[in-house]
Amino acid sequence: MRNSLLTAVLIFAVIFAIAVPTAAQNIPIDEITKITVEGNDYVSDFEILNAVKTEVGDQTDQEALRSDMQAVFELGYFSDVNIVFENFEGGLNVIFEVVENPVLREINISGNGDLYSEAEIKEALDLKLETVLNVKKMNENLKAFQEKMQDDGYILARYKDVNISEEGILTVEISPGYLDSIEISGNTKTKNDVILREMPIEAGDVINIKKIQRGYQNLHRLEFFENINPELQRVESEENLAKLVINLEEGQTGRLNFGGGYSSTDGWLGFVDVSEKNLFGNGQNISAKWQFGDTTTYSLNFYEPYLWQSDFSFGFSVYDRETERTNSDGDDYKRESRGGSITFGHPLPNDWRTSLRYRVQDTKEYWSDDSGIIYDNSLRSLTLGFRRDSTNNRFHPTSGSINDFEIEHAGGIVGGEMKFTKFNWDSRRYFHGFKNHALAVRMKLGLSEATTPLEGEEYDLGGSDSLRGYERSDFDYEDKANNNLLLFNIEYRIPLNESFTGVIFTDAGNVWEDRDSISLNDLYYGYGLGVRMNTPVGQLRLDYGWDEDQDGQLHFSIGNTF
């Protein structure tokens, strides 16, 4: 029997509550001679009775019939189930009276905040129209969809209202949870807009914890702060709101570095390096360097990550370098290089970033006694680059990857006397090792198509940043040019304490003049041990590598190899 009006209103946080059916009262003790169903217009007798364990010929049993009534109710098709009895052929006819849920005619979704399309939500509910609404199945699917929203980062998302009308219209209203505001505290130097532009979420957006985590990583990469502590706080309101509070502790962003050393290619040298990563709290990076000795260099670099508050980045560099050298005949000469570059960048989907760089360089070689010019050349090039960094830590990554791809073209319509096209690919991958150890793997490939000699633009191999155990001069051939490069590096990094990290490494690589000569069977190998030390001026790196002839070579540098 159906009530004249049936409206089931289900409001819940995560899971619907299913009411317990009315228990049969004052069950007479007698033999069951028949079992029937009444009130079902759409659900078949067979499907209902298939859930009933009691059989014809059994004696009536209160607990057994209560269990059968619960089993029928849990089919999900009914808003009420009851049992009545009538005499039949010397025994009892057990009648299961059911009240069917409405036939589902329409599903309306509201309040989802464009998190998912209506079609996606209906697919997740998996309810068929023109059939009796199965509340059990609906509850299970709504619970699964709630878990999906949580897994996708919508941690405040919940069901605000679920309603099925007599006409069979199911309404599902979702409250996704919105960000009321962002509060920043502790930033004494860095401006608020510099911090907020790193957050991929703003007031009024649906709260997604993954976006907040990505914003935390962006702020961490800036290296402006000693500590960053973002937290969500509920806002007292009838709406599903929360505010994001970002607690910061400013760090040291300006540095003055100086030192000296010896290089087999550049001889004795000293340097003074001044840099500021957060100029006037605007997030701009500027640095100036003076290197003196057998090589004298002056350079100035500037980088603006958000040009005029847009998504475009801008950077420029200028330099003047003079080197004193001696040729194979013992004659002294000087090499002068002056130039600079301008670079524009823009983000791409999936954390990729593209950049376009215009580079200018004029190079001249002349005898130290001013007796004449040996070499005079100009370079003008355009470089299109693509980069993606998904590492979990900028300086000590244990997961993620870095991928760089560049195409550089010089000459032709770009100008300059040098003419070439270079393709450079640098791919790095990081893995968790034993305990807090890390495994780092790198592959670097450089290919060039040169119309003019790559004087000063050849690929370098050997030394602290590429093939350890060898010096760069080991691959400077007089009879061929280093037009192509292939390099592999593997490091296993073992943190010893907060200041020191031990490293075991293996390197393999070579350079070739012709691309057709590139072969994995023609690689040079190096291996060795190293240590990294964290200092106020950066990470110092000391490696000792052996070549294939077991000859050892000490390498000293600053920062990770890759």
Q: CA-CA distances (angstroms) from residue 12 to 19, 192, 257?
A: 13, 39, 62
Residues 422 and 539 in one domain: yes
Q: Is residue 512 part of a domain?
A: yes
Residue range(s) defining the domain that contains residue 236: 178-250
Q: Is residue 224 part of a domain?
A: yes
Q: Which two tokens stand for residue 47?
A: 């499907």
Strand ranges inside 186-283, DSSP E: 225-234, 241-250, 254-263, 267-279
C-alpha–C-alpha distance, residues 107 and 124, integer Å: 12
Q: Is residue 169 part of a domain?
A: no
C-alpha–C-alpha distance, residues 359 and 340, integer Å: 6
> Quick one: pLDDT band at residue 303, thresholds 50, 70, 90?
very high
> Quick one: pLDDT band at residue 27, thresholds 50, 70, 90?
low
What's the confidence (pLDDT) of residue 239?
86
The pLDDT > 90 percentage for the chain reads 72
In the predicted structure, residue 87 carries a pLDDT above the cut 70: yes
**In what side-by-side order are the strands of the sheet with 178-185?**
178-185, 241-250, 225-234
What's the confidence (pLDDT) of residue 5?
29
Q: Is residue 496 part of a domain?
A: yes
> Quick one: pLDDT band at residue 24, thresholds 50, 70, 90?
very low
Cβ contacts of 20 within 8 Å, gap of 6 or more: 70, 73
Q: What is the mean pLDDT of residues 461-466?
A: 90
Residues 85 and 185 in one domain: no
Residues 516 and 395 in one domain: yes
Q: Is residue 310 part of a domain?
A: no
How many structural domains are present in the chain?
Answer: 3
CB 73 within 8 A of CB 50: no
Q: What is the mean pLDDT of residues 359-381?
A: 88
**CATH value at residue 19:** 3.10.20.310
Residue 492: name the closest of 481, 505, 482 by CA.
Answer: 505
What's the confidence (pLDDT) of residue 293?
83
Q: Which two tokens stand for residue 487?
A: 């390099």
Residue with tokens 């059994």: 58
> Quick one: pLDDT band at residue 238, thresholds 50, 70, 90?
confident
Residues 85 and 192 in one domain: no
pLDDT in tens, 7-17: 333 323 233 33
- Which residues is 406 bridged to in the sheet? 385, 424
In the predicted structure, residue 3 carries a pLDDT above the cut 80: no
Q: Which two tokens stand for residue 508?
A: 């393999």
The pLDDT > 70 percentage for the chain reads 93
Residues 200 and 62 in one domain: no
Pick the last residue of a domain from 219, 250, 281. 250
C-alpha–C-alpha distance, residues 475 and 520, integer Å: 17
Q: Is residue 143 part of a domain?
A: no
Q: Is residue 477 part of a domain?
A: yes
Q: What is the mean pLDDT of residues 211-224?
A: 92
Give the number of C-alpha atoms closer than 13 A to the C-alpha of residue 105, restricted to the C-beta side. Answer: 7
Q: What is the mean pLDDT of residues 483-488?
A: 97
Mean residue pLDDT of the chain comes to 89
Strands 284-293 and 267-279: antiparallel
**CATH value at residue 404:** 2.40.160.50
Residues 546 and 397 in one domain: yes
Residue 9: name the closest of 163, 159, 158 by CA.
Answer: 163
Which three-class secondary structure state does DSSP give residue 138?
helix
Residue 7: name the closest of 101, 128, 107 by CA.
Answer: 101
Residues 75 and 207 in one domain: no
Q: Is residue 95 part of a domain?
A: yes
CB 479 within 8 A of CB 446: no
- Angle, vertex CA 410, rays to CA 406 and CA 416, nearest 5: 150
C-alpha–C-alpha distance, residues 285 and 480, integer Å: 40
DSSP string, 40-74: -SSS-HHHHHTT----TTPBP-HHHHHHHHHHHHT
Pick the last residue of a domain from 200, 230, 250. 250
Strands 267-279 and 438-450: unpaired
What's the confidence (pLDDT) of residue 17?
33
Which helix (H) or strand (E) segment holds residue 212: the answer is helix 209-222
pLDDT in tens, 96-142: 999 999 999 999 999 887 889 999 999 999 999 999 999 999 999 99
pLDDT in tens, 310-329: 999 999 999 999 988 776 67
- Angle, vertex CA 335, rays to CA 333 and CA 341, nearest 5: 180
What's the confidence (pLDDT) of residue 267?
61
Q: Which two tokens stand for residue 177?
A: 């949870």
Residues 449 and 548 in one domain: yes
| Residue count of the chain | 562
CA torsion sign for 9, 13, 15, 20 is negative
DSSP string, 140-177: HHHHHHHHHHHHTT-TT-EEEEEEE-TT-EEEEEEE--
- Which residues is 377 bridged to in the sheet? 363
Least confident residue range of 49-53, 301-305, 473-477, 547-551 = 473-477
Cβ contacts of 329 within 8 Å, gap of 6 or more: none
Q: What is the mean pLDDT of residues 477-497?
A: 92
Cβ contacts of 423 within 8 Å, gap of 6 or more: 406, 407, 445, 446, 447, 448
Residues 94 and 191 in one domain: no
Residue 539: name the closest of 335, 366, 394 by CA.
Answer: 394
C-alpha–C-alpha distance, residues 121 and 110, integer Å: 10
Residues 550 and 434 in one domain: yes
In the predicted structure, residue 154 carries a pLDDT above the cut 60: yes
Pick the last residue of a domain from 197, 227, 250. 250
C-alpha–C-alpha distance, residues 444 and 425, integer Å: 6
What's the confidence (pLDDT) of residue 376?
87
What's the confidence (pLDDT) of residue 262?
60
DSSP string, 82-97: EEEEEEETTEEEEEEE
What's the confidence (pLDDT) of residue 535?
77
Residues 86 and 184 in one domain: no
What's the confidence (pLDDT) of residue 9?
31
